[in-house]
């Protein structure tokens, strides 16, 4: 066991972990931040996406010890200070960008990372960026639409209400 | 009632806030004090005799609580099959024992051979590696045709063969059917494969068993679409426990698509082991385990023949299908290729003679069961592919050929036992032609050709039998359960309402849509109504969510219970206003006496029910809570027409979906936004089946596509924006909301349109390709073009 310390959603967090403990396990099991989901064991699904020092990272691909001293942001820290949904979260709700909700934390975190680098992505750019985020429920239609809406684009002409 | 509320409105989903902020409560998010972890050691060979298992070294490993093998479950029942199909000779299906842990024989890769419970998951995994086995390998039975050969190795030694049943449906008279083919002007024949799929909800399965010595009660948290069904099957058939001592909770569940209907060994194991170990036992499936332990879907091989007269009227249809059951019979497995498939073979057409022949086969593969659509996609795929092929052979327009053969009068009794109560296939086809802009296709094709691509247009129709199901009918057909549902409406003293529903939401948004209905009926704000679901300790009873049944069956129960509430509330209101019950009207949450200005508010009536100082106690019990069980009179029949437009790269065989349009008739609709979402999701899965997904086994019974690296799930860049329309509405005639259900349509209706479009594209490029089996990967398409 080794001690690891990092900042998670702006607060200091630390715990004892094994060398093999993944960041996703540390967040879920040690910190109780169960919004970061685990949907696979081959780094394919993206349900576990968090931000580490401002970059989108699949938390199942990183050891907790590798995040020593890092600034980690998870879905639990995304809402506005008053607790209301942030712009991206609100767009997902407004455009029905989620069904079972399991892929959703990873989708929102990926979308946030995309919009940071590319504030007005095209449909094709969004679909391309989401290559590493699987959703089995939505057929992606409303996820792509929500991200376009969150970036301030007019989505009213996109098919189906 | 504000217009953003009630039936037909699209209020934002209330469940979204918790899911968007990481506050969902999925089963793996739950931890029970003092829980131990189980790791299942799973077979890595498909077929073998277990000579011995030595767990002694593993038992000494750090943290190990207890190790279980098949011998520990010798006294426990097997996993039951919920449907007994009778074969063409009147004999019952062959039904092997389905053990919790393999006892003397391993029958598929992924079968549990031992279970290690330890303080931590890592310790359990480490110890499992120290378990020693002696196995004698047996030949693996993988291919269905080979499995049915006289001298085939048997998957189950105690059965007479690998045939589960040989079933005929529709017209059983072979000579009469043959005569119809002999006298046909044209016969189109097609052999095809409906590819085996893995449902892959994004949340892997999880089970946590707990046992209290103090109360002798068990609690199972599990990722289920139907917790009451799991409790019933596990208590009555597997563990022999009294149901009132067992609580099953399915909290937030991350998608199911059928794969979380079934009662699985891991659920029974964790419940059993919790008592045996004296502490809670938790199991979280890895994705690798999910691929080899969740029931798979589809896997049919079919020959279909369509006979037409000289005017292109369909005169007869005959199918011969082999359907894979895998190694054991999962909960609904035997109903899928029989009654959920054969009954749909008439499709939207008035073909007078239909004969469906199905052989179900045991193989050394993971059990196969319902996956979104369950039998109906298999029926639709064959039928809509053979019609397309017939149109090409006859030089007929595929839309016109379908229109000519549509059923147009309702109710319509099909030759395969269903009575379609209502529908309008002409209207959905008209709508589709408009939504898909059929008129503009030629120009789009010309544009694609300019860019060196082949462009194709494909359509299909579909019909499904949903709202599963009338208990007396399914009982006659072999179902071992009733398929009604139940709801309890509990009105609190201050007028707010909890509705306990037997349906379970795992993405469908019931927490939003169900209150829309109740609030609309009473005329109160939706925020006053909540539903409770997914917990046998809080919900009286329910059969769960599958077969697009939630609103049609459980929603109907909820309406009936609410009607009882309103009837009683009116009596209370009549008493308060000193009027006759018959004169009381309820509108916008106010009870009024017809023709007077007297009124009393909903909240006052509720309070009176619980504080009955001025109350007709001699005639009416205090309180305001009602339950209804609803058993549907018939199935519901959502139907529609879908169109797909593809571009095929002639150099690589790569198919891209350029447009996908859907025109559905779901009857009345509660929440259009959610209905659109359900169709989108189904389309994504149907396109996945058509282009990408395939659960492929090698001849040794190893699953080759056993991870997301090898099993191609549809991703955001594999699909387009969809055009979805559900403005054609012929309300269901036999349920109170006139609803039909929308959950499976997208997955049922889309694969044939995709394949038809690809064939159209290839033929437009002068390639004489009449069929390609799914998935239409670049390799397969390229081979077909160049073969
Ligand atoms: S859990 Fe990290 S990518 Fe799937
Ligand atoms: S909403 Fe269920 S997996 Fe995306």
Read off the pLDDT of residues A16-66 as tens digits, 9 standing for 90 and up: 999 999 999 999 999 999 999 999 999 999 999 999 999 999 999 999 999
What are the pLDDT digits (tens) for B262-278? 999 999 999 999 999 99
Q: With bands split at pLDDT 50, 70 and 90, how would you rate the model's confidence at B688?
A: very high
Regarding the beta carbon of A92 and ligand 2, being less than 6 Å apart is answered no
Q: How far is C-alpha B84 from the chain's CA centre?
A: 19
Regarding the beta carbon of A139 and ligand 2, being less than 6 Å apart is answered no
Long-range contacts of B88-92 (CB under 8 A, 24+ apart): B88/B166, B88/B167, B88/B168, B88/B172, B89/B166, B91/B165, B92/B165
| A44 CA → ligand 1 middle, Å | 6
B201 contacts in chain A (CB < 8 Å): 100, 102, 136
Ligand closest to CA A134:
2
What are the pLDDT digits (tens) for B236-260? 999 999 999 999 999 999 999 999 9
**A70 with A106, same domain?**
no
Residue A81 lies in a domain: no
How far apart (Å, rounded) are the C-alpha atoms in residues B674 and B679? 9
**A136 with A93, same domain?**
yes
**A72 with A9, same domain?**
yes
Looking at A76, A100, A116, which one is the last position of a domain?
A76
A161 contacts in chain B (CB < 8 Å): 10, 672-673, 676
**A120 with A72, same domain?**
no
How far apart (Å, rounded) are the C-alpha atoms in residues B573 and B252? 39
Residue A156 lies in a domain: no
| Tokens at B227, concatenated | 């917790």
B666 contacts in chain A (CB < 8 Å): none
Query: Of the ranges B75-79, B116-120, B440-444, B715-719, which one carries the lowest mean pLDDT score?
Result: B75-79
How much is the pLDDT for A159? Answer: 65
Looking at A48, A76, A104, which one is the last position of a domain?
A76
CB atoms within 10 A of CB B619: 8
Regarding the beta carbon of B716 and ligand 2, being less than 6 Å apart is answered no
Residue A16 lies in a domain: yes
What are the pLDDT digits (tens) for B157-206? 999 999 999 999 999 999 999 999 999 999 999 999 999 999 999 999 99
B721 contacts in chain A (CB < 8 Å): 123, 141, 144-145, 158-159
| Tokens at B462, concatenated | 């579909």
How much is the pLDDT for B305? Answer: 98
Residue A35 lies in a domain: yes
How far apart (Å, rounded) are the C-alpha atoms in residues A52 and B488? 47
Give the residue-averaged pLDDT of B569-596. Answer: 96
Q: How far is C-alpha A12 from the chain's CA centre?
A: 20
Rounded percentage of chain B residues whose pLDDT exceeds 90: 97
Q: How far is C-alpha B615 from the chain's CA centre?
A: 47
Domains of chain B (ranges, CATH numbers): 16-22+484-630 (3.30.365.10), 31-138+202-255+260-293 (3.90.1170.50), 296-469+634-785 (3.30.365.10)
Regarding the beta carbon of A138 and ligand 2, being less than 6 Å apart is answered yes
**A64 with A30, same domain?**
yes
Can you tell me the ipTM of this complex?
A: 0.98
**A61 with A102, same domain?**
no
DSSP code for B252? B
Burial of residue B617 (CB within 10 Å: 0-12, 13-18, 19+) is exposed
Does the N-terminal peptide bond of residue B775 adopt cis geometry, omega within 30 degrees of 0? yes
Q: Are A135 and A37 in contact (CB under 8 A)?
A: no
What are the pLDDT digits (tens) for B610-642? 999 999 999 999 999 999 999 999 999 999 999
Ligand 1 pocket list (CB less than 6 A): A 38-40, 43-48, 58, 60
Checking if the pLDDT of B1 tops 50, the result is no
What are the pLDDT digits (tens) for A55-78? 999 999 999 999 999 999 999 999
Backbone conformation region of residue B652, classed left if phi is above 0, alpha if psi is from -120 to 50, else beta: alpha
User: Residue A40 CA: which ligand 1 atom is closest?
Assistant: 4
Give the residue-averaged pLDDT of B591-612. Answer: 96
Pick from B635, B581, B557, B570: which is nearest to B606 by CA? Answer: B570
How much is the pLDDT for B787? Answer: 82
How much is the pLDDT for B161? Answer: 98
Residue A135 lies in a domain: yes
Give the nearest partner residue to A136 out of B29, B200, B719, using CB atoms. B200
**A118 with A69, same domain?**
no
Q: Is B317 helix (H, G, I), strand (E, B) or coil?
A: strand
Q: With bands split at pLDDT 50, 70 and 90, how would you rate the model's confidence at B77?
A: confident
Residue of B31, B257, B680 to mutate when probing chain A, most A C-beta within 10 A = B680
Burial of residue B761 (CB within 10 Å: 0-12, 13-18, 19+) is buried
Q: With bands split at pLDDT 50, 70 and 90, how would you rate the model's confidence at B74?
A: confident
The nearest CA of chain B is from the CA of A72 a distance in Å of 15
Checking if the pLDDT of B502 tops 90, the result is yes
Q: Which CATH number goes with the domain that contains A131?
A: 1.10.150.120
Integer angstrom CA distances of residue B334 from B181, B370, B642? 29, 9, 29
Radius of gyration of chain A (CA): 16
DSSP code for B357? E
Residue with the nearest Cα to atom 1 of ligand 1?
A38
Residue A82 lies in a domain: no
How far apart (Å, rounded) are the C-alpha atoms in residues B470 and B474? 6
Residue of chain B minimizing CA distance to A40? B287
Integer angstrom CA distances of residue B61 from A77, B67, B200? 40, 11, 34
Residue A56 lies in a domain: yes
Give the residue-averaged pLDDT of B553-573. Answer: 97
| B506 CA → ligand 2 middle, Å | 9
**A36 with A67, same domain?**
yes
Regarding the beta carbon of A108 and ligand 2, being less than 6 Å apart is answered no
Checking if the pLDDT of A161 tops 80, the result is no
Burial of residue B652 (CB within 10 Å: 0-12, 13-18, 19+) is exposed
**A32 with A52, same domain?**
yes
Residue with the nearest Cα to atom 4 of ligand 2?
A135
Residue A70 lies in a domain: yes
| B667 CA → ligand 2 middle, Å | 26
Range of the domain at A105: 87-150
Q: Which CATH number goes with the domain that contains A21?
A: 3.10.20.30
Domains identified in chain A, total number: 2
What are the pLDDT digits (tens) for B473-492? 899 899 998 899 999 999 99
**A68 with A120, same domain?**
no
Integer angstrom CA distances of residue B754 from A152, B433, B440? 33, 16, 18
**A94 with A72, same domain?**
no
| A135 CA → ligand 2 middle, Å | 5
| A107 CA → ligand 2 middle, Å | 9
**A7 with A70, same domain?**
yes
User: Residue A59 CA: which ligand 1 atom is closest?
Assistant: 2
Checking if the pLDDT of B566 tops 50, the result is yes
Burial of residue A120 (CB within 10 Å: 0-12, 13-18, 19+) is exposed
Residue with the nearest Cα to atom 2 of ligand 2?
A100
User: Residue A99 CA: which ligand 2 atom is closest?
Assistant: 1
What are the pLDDT digits (tens) for B368-420? 999 999 999 999 999 999 999 999 999 999 999 999 999 999 999 999 999 99
Best residue among A27, A28, A46 to mutate for probing ligand 1, ranked by most atoms within 8 Å of CB: A46
Looking at A42, A76, A110, which one is the last position of a domain?
A76
Checking if the pLDDT of B2 tops 60, the result is no
């Amino acid at each position: 066991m080794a001690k690891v310390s990092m900042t998670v959603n702006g607060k200091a967090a630390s715990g004892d972990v094994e060398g093999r403990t993944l960041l996703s396990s540390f967040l879920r099991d040690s910190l109780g931040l169960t919004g970061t989901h685990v949907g696979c064991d081959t780094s394919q699904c993206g349900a576990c996406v968090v931000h580490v020092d401002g970059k989108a990272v699949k938390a199942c691909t990183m050891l907790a010890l590798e995040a020593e001293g890092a600034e980690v942001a998870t879905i639990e820290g995304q809402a506005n200070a008053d607790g209301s949904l942030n712009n991206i979260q609100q767009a997902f709700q407004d455009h029905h960008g989620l069904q079972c909700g399991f892929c959703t934390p990873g989708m929102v975190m990926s979308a946030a990372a995309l919009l940071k680098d590319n504030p007005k992505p095209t449909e094709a750019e969004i679909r391309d960026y989401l290559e590493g985020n699987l959703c089995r429920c939505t057929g992606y239609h409303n996820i792509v639409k929500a991200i376009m809406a969150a970036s301030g684009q007019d989505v009213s002409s996109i098919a189906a209400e | 009632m504000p217009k953003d509320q009630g039936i037909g409105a699209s209020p934002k989903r209330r469940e979204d806030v918790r899911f968007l902020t990481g506050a969902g409560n999925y089963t793996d998010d739950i931890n029970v004090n003092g829980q131990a972890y189980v790791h299942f050691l799973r077979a890595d060979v498909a077929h073998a005799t277990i000579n011995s298992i030595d767990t002694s070294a593993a038992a000494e490993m750090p943290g190990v609580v207890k190790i279980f093998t098949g011998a520990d479950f010798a006294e426990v029942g097997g996993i039951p099959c919920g449907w007994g199909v009778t074969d063409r000779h009147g004999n019952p299906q062959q039904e092997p024992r389905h053990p919790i842990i393999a006892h003397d024989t391993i029958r598929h890769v992924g079968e549990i051979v031992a279970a290690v419970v330890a303080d931590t998951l890592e310790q359990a995994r480490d110890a499992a590696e120290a378990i020693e086995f002696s196995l004698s390998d047996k030949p693996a039975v993988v291919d269905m045709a080979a499995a049915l050969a006289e001298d085939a190795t048997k998957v189950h030694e105690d059965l007479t063969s690998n045939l589960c049943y040989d079933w005929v449906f529709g017209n059983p008279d072979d000579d009469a059917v043959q005569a119809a083919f002999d006298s046909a002007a044209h016969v189109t024949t097609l052999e095809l494969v409906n590819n085996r799929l893995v449902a892959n909800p994004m949340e892997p399965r999880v089970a946590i068993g707990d046992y209290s010595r103090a109360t002798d009660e068990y609690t199972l948290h599990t990722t289920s679409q139907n917790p009451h069904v799991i409790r019933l099957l596990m208590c009555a058939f597997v563990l022999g426990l009294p149901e009132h001592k067992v609580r099953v909770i399915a909290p937030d569940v991350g998608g199911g698509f059928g794969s979380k209907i079934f009662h699985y060994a891991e659920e029974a194991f964790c419940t059993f082991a919790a008592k045996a170990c004296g502490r809670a036992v938790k199991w979280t499936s890895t994705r690798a385990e999910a691929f080899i332990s969740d029931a798979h879907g589809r896997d049919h091989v079919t020959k279909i023949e369509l006979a037409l007269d000289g005017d292109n009227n369909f005169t007869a249809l005959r199918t011969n299908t082999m359907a894979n059951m895998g190694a054991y019979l999962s909960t609904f497995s035997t109903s899928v290729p029989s009654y959920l498939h054969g009954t749909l073979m008439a499709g939207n057409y008035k073909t007078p003679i239909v004969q469906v022949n199905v052989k179900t086969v045991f193989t050394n593969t993971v059990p196969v069961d319902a996956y979104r659509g369950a039998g109906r996609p298999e029926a639709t795929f064959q039928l809509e592919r053979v019609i397309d092929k017939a149109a090409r052979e006859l030089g007929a327009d595929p839309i016109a050929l379908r229109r000519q053969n549509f059923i147009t009068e309702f109710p319509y009794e099909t030759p395969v036992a269903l009575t379609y109560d209502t529908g309008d296939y002409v209207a959905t086809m008209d709508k589709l032609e408009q939504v898909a802009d059929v008129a503009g296709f030629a120009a789009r094709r010309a544009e694609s050709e300019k860019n060196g691509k082949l462009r194709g247009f494909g359509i299909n129709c579909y019909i499904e039998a949903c709202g599963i199901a009338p208990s007396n009918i399914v009982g006659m057909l072999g179902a071992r359960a009733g398929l009604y549902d139940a709801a309890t409406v509990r009105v609190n003293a201050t007028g707010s309402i909890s509705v306990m529903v037997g349906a379970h939401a795992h993405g469908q948004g019931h927490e939003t849509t169900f209150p829309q209905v109740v609030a609309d009926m009473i005329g109160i704000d939706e925020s006053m109504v909540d539903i409770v679901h997914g917990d046998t300790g809080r919900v009286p009873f329910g059969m769960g969510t599958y077969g697009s049944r939630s609103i049609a069956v459980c929603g109907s129960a909820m309406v009936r219970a609410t009607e009882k509430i309103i009837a009683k509330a009116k009596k209370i209101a009549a008493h308060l206003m000193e009027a006759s019950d018959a004169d009381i009207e309820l509108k916008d949450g106010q009870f009024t006496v017809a023709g007077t200005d007297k009124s009393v508010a909903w909240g006052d009536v509720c309070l009176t029910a619980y504080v009955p100082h001025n109350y007709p106690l001699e005639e009416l019990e205090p309180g305001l809570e009602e339950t209804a069980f609803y058993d549907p009179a018939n199935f519901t029949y959502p139907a529609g027409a879908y169109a797909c437009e593809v571009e095929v790269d002639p150099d690589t065989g790569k198919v891209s979906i350029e447009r996908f349009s859907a025109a559905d008739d779901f009857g009345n609709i509660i929440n259009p936004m959610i209905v659109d979402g359900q169709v989108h999701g189904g389309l994504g899965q149907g396109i996945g089946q058509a282009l990408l997904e395939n659960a492929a086994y090698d001849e040794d019974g190893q699953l080759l596509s056993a991870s997301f690296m090898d099993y191609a799930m549809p991703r955001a860049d594999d699909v387009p924006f969809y055009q979805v329309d559900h403005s054609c509405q012929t309300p269901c005639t036999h349920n109170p909301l006139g609803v039909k259900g929308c959950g499976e349509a997208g997955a049922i209706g889309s694969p044939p349109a995709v394949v038809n479009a690809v064939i159209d594209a290839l033929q437009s490029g002068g390639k004489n390709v009449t069929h390609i089996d799914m998935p239409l990967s670049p390799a397969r398409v390229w081979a077909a073009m160049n073969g």
